[in-house]
Amino acid sequence: MVERIPAAKLGDIPDGEAILVPRSLTGTIDDIALFQDGGEYFALDNTCSHELASLSEGWIEDGVVECPLHTGRFCLRDGKVLSAPADTDVAAHTVEVDGDDILIVPN
C-alpha cells in the first residue's frame, strides 16, 4: 500500500507560497517543499540541486519555483531544472487532497 502522509490542511499554504515538510515526517531523504500555485499543490525535494538553498523560500509563479539564492528555476510539476546555474533536476512527489488534508505520496 502506498503511504500517504498528511502534510498540511487546506488553507495552510497561501497561493504562491510554500511550507517546509520535514523529513522526520515524510521519511524521505530530503525535507519536502510543499507549494500552492493557483489552487494546485506540488511537492519537490526542498534542497536546490545547485548549492543547497531551500526551495520552500523561493519565488513561485506559473508552475515554476525560482531558487532564492542564485535564481535557478525548477518545474513544480516534475522537478525538471529549467534554468542555470542549477543543472540537475530535483525529485518531485505526488500530492493528493482528501477533504481538508493535503497528502504527500513520496516517490
Whether 13 contacts 43, CB under 8 Å: no
Which member of 5, 13, 86, 103 binds ligand FES (CB under 6 A)?
86
- Torsion angle in degrees (nearest 10) through CA of 82, 66, 94, 35: -160
Provide the mask over 35-54, with x wherever binding to ligand FES is found by CB under 6 A and - wherever it is not: -------------x-xx-x-
The residue among 72 and 79 lying less far from ligand FES, judged by its C-beta, is: 72
Rounded Cα distance, 27 and 16, in Å: 26
Q: Could you list the residues that contact ligand FES (CB under 6 A)?
A: 48, 50-51, 53, 67, 69-70, 72, 85-86
